[in-house]
Amino acid sequence: MKRVEIIKLLEAGEVGATVCVKGWVRTKRGSKNVAFIALNDGTCLNSIQVVADVDQFAEDDLRRITTGASISVSGELAASKGAGQKVEIVAEQLEILGEAPADEYPLQPKKHSMEFLRDIAHLRFRTNTFSAVFRIRHALSFSVHEFFNKNGFYHIHTPIITGSDAEGAGEMFKVTNFDLNNIPRNEEGAIDFRQDFFESETNLTVSGQLEAELAALALSKVYTFGPTFRAENSNTSRHLAEFWMIEPEVAFADLAENMDLAQDFLRYTINYVLENCKEDLNFLNRRFEEIESKKPKNERSDSGLIEKLEYVLRDDFKRITYSEAIDILRNCKPNKKKKFNYIIEGWGADLQSEHERYLVEKHFKSPVIIYDYPADIKAFYMRQNDDNQTVAAMDVLFPGIGEIIGGSQREERLDVLKKKMADFNIPEDEMQWYLDTRRFGTVPHSGFGLGFERLMLFVTGMTNIRDVIAFPRTPGNAKF
């Protein structure tokens, strides 16, 4: 008999129909006469209940059906007496596809810590929490492509291996084909990259932006959605060494239009998940509330997960300049009472996540876009403002996360860009291809980068970025 997915049965299974389902046992309980098996195939959060009359099956078979075992069940759908489900299956045939001996299988029907589950990331997909997270990750990713497609953007696949080191000096992973025990050297004793695979020094990309700019200056609106890599040793709950970045780039758009795009984009994707992942979100919402309820009162979130998502859809994000942000921060209580780890002394300071979160969570109680940052603390390609001190940069800050998007209007004037590169010690000859777009038919353009896992953190209410990507890469860990 052909297998039916459990999601289809729970949505539209008709009492009396004979069906076959396959999946993994979540729990088995029962009495002397009947066994109740909760069977889950990952197509949705809920399991289907299988009812097996103990007399009809070999005792040994029933004994081998334990949490984690995979089985195939055929039988008739009956109206369920249990709460929360319309139908259950009365088993006529049971086949064990794969056992999961209880004394060896690490996942048991009890609460496991997130740390423990990270150690068994190959099995954690089989928990309710992680299956919900990864179904939402799919939906969120789909909504990203849908948003851009509906708005006339073209998806560009930018390279993962890159020869340019413009952005992340010292933070890049090297790509080489050298025998590490015998690295060729030139006459001066330096590593001779001419003998390497690409005949030049190469790295894993930290961003697809520069290449996306080249495409935007021909196709008008493009975006990238690919893996990016940072060898920064920041062991935080918001940084990964390998993460997925979404980078739209738009010709003829200024910073204000860039901010509009960021807001529209975030709202579209969040709304998509609210509308299409109700069951999983409700589950994560309950999980969120349970975790919050155990925190001390003053640390508790004042709204539930779903409320937080709906809230973002309601009002426009607050927009303030960097200078305004500094004024607020300099005079705020935690700064005056020296509660911040980094005290804000004055204009020019780089904002840390504690400052960003203060602005979002305490001061404005709303997502905030900060723009017009000091040129010194931002990248070379950001457009110089007329004050000669600030650049047309913007960061979007979200509650619980801090920075979720970083973007800017790009410097389109060849002479200004060249001067900036000289100030930043970026050799022009390595960047001829980039400068060419300013030499030939240059136009104002803007774009931003969104860390997909940061958005995942916000949408799922998970608190550690390691728990929203299947196999996290962090300092000291590249397991699986």
Cβ distance to ligand ATP smaller for residue 285 or 408: 408
d(C-alpha 328, C-alpha 359), whole Å? 8
Select the span of 16-24, 149-157, 367-375, 451-459 touching ligand ATP (CB under 6 A): 451-459
Distance in Å, CB of 233 to ligand ATP, minimum = 10
How many CB atoms neighbour CB 425 within 10 A? Answer: 8
d(C-alpha 24, C-alpha 98), whole Å? 9
Residue in 444, 451, 461, 472 binding ligand ATP, rule: CB under 6 A = 451
Amino acid at 288: F
**Alpha-carbon torsion, ordered 422, 424, 428, 430, to 10 deg:** 170
Name the helix (H) or strand (E) containing 62: helix 59-64
Q: Any contact of residue 454 with ligand ATP (CB under 6 A)?
A: yes
Cβ distance to ligand ATP smaller for residue 19 or 245: 245
CB 86 within 8 A of CB 12: no
Distance in Å, CB of 419 to ligand ATP, minimum = 23
Name the helix (H) or strand (E) containing 194: none
End-to-end CA distance of the chain, in Å? Answer: 35
Select the span of 112-120, 175-183, 191-199, 449-457 touching ligand ATP (CB under 6 A): 449-457
Residue in 372, 403, 412, 467 binding ligand ATP, rule: CB under 6 A = 403
d(C-alpha 96, C-alpha 183), whole Å? 54
**Residue written as token pair 């860039």:** 258
Residue in 94, 404, 456, 468 binding ligand ATP, rule: CB under 6 A = 404
Q: What size, in residues, is the chain?
A: 480
Helices 128-150, 255-276: axis angle to 10 degrees equals: 130
CB 132 within 8 A of CB 461: no
Distance in Å, CB of 138 to ligand ATP, minimum = 19
Site string for ligand ATP, 82-121 (x = CB under 6 A): ----------------------------------------
Distance in Å, CB of 52 to ligand ATP, minimum = 46
Select the span of 19-27, 191-199, 285-293, 397-405 touching ligand ATP (CB under 6 A): 397-405
What does the block give as tokens for 233?
A: 């040793």
Q: Any contact of residue 394 with ligand ATP (CB under 6 A)?
A: no
Site string for ligand ATP, 24-63 (x = CB under 6 A): ----------------------------------------
Residue in 453, 458, 459, 473 binding ligand ATP, rule: CB under 6 A = 453
Query: How wide is the angle at C-alpha 255 spanned by C-alphas 253 and 256, nearest 5°?
Result: 95
Site for ligand ATP in 187-246 (CB under 6 A): 230, 239-240, 243, 245
List, in order, residues 6 or more apart from 136 with CB less than 8 Å away.
273, 277, 280, 281, 284, 456, 459, 460
Cβ distance to ligand ATP smaller for residue 246 or 421: 246
Distance in Å, CB of 230 to ligand ATP, minimum = 5
Distance in Å, CB of 37 to ligand ATP, minimum = 40
Handedness of CA 436, 441, 444, 445 (dihedral sign): negative
CB 381 within 8 A of CB 210: yes
**Residue written as token pair 């039916």:** 4
Q: Any contact of residue 405 with ligand ATP (CB under 6 A)?
A: yes
List, in order, residues 6 or more apart from 150 with CB less than 8 Å away.
none
Cβ distance to ligand ATP smaller for residue 208 or 451: 451
Distance in Å, CB of 99 to ligand ATP, minimum = 39
Cβ distance to ligand ATP smaller for residue 69 or 210: 210
Distance in Å, CB of 457 to ligand ATP, minimum = 9
Q: Any contact of residue 449 with ligand ATP (CB under 6 A)?
A: yes
Select the span of 4-12, 65-73, 322-330, 403-411 touching ligand ATP (CB under 6 A): 403-411
Site string for ligand ATP, 235-264 (x = CB under 6 A): ----xx--x-x-------------------
Closest by CA to 203, choosing from 231, 239, 222, is 231
Closest by CA to 374, choosing from 448, 436, 322, 303, is 322
**95-111: b or e for each residue (b if 16 or more CB lie within 10 Å)?**
ebeeebeeeeeebeeee
For strand 18-30 and strand 34-40, is the pairing parallel, antiparallel, or unpaired?
A: antiparallel
Distance in Å, CB of 44 to ligand ATP, minimum = 29
Binding residues for ligand ATP, total number by CB under 6 A: 14
Q: Any contact of residue 75 with ligand ATP (CB under 6 A)?
A: no
Distance in Å, CB of 356 to ligand ATP, minimum = 9
Q: Any contact of residue 356 with ligand ATP (CB under 6 A)?
A: no
Residue 358 phi, psi (nearest 5): -60, -45
Q: Which residues bind ligand ATP (CB under 6 A)?
A: 230, 239-240, 243, 245, 403-406, 449-451, 453-454
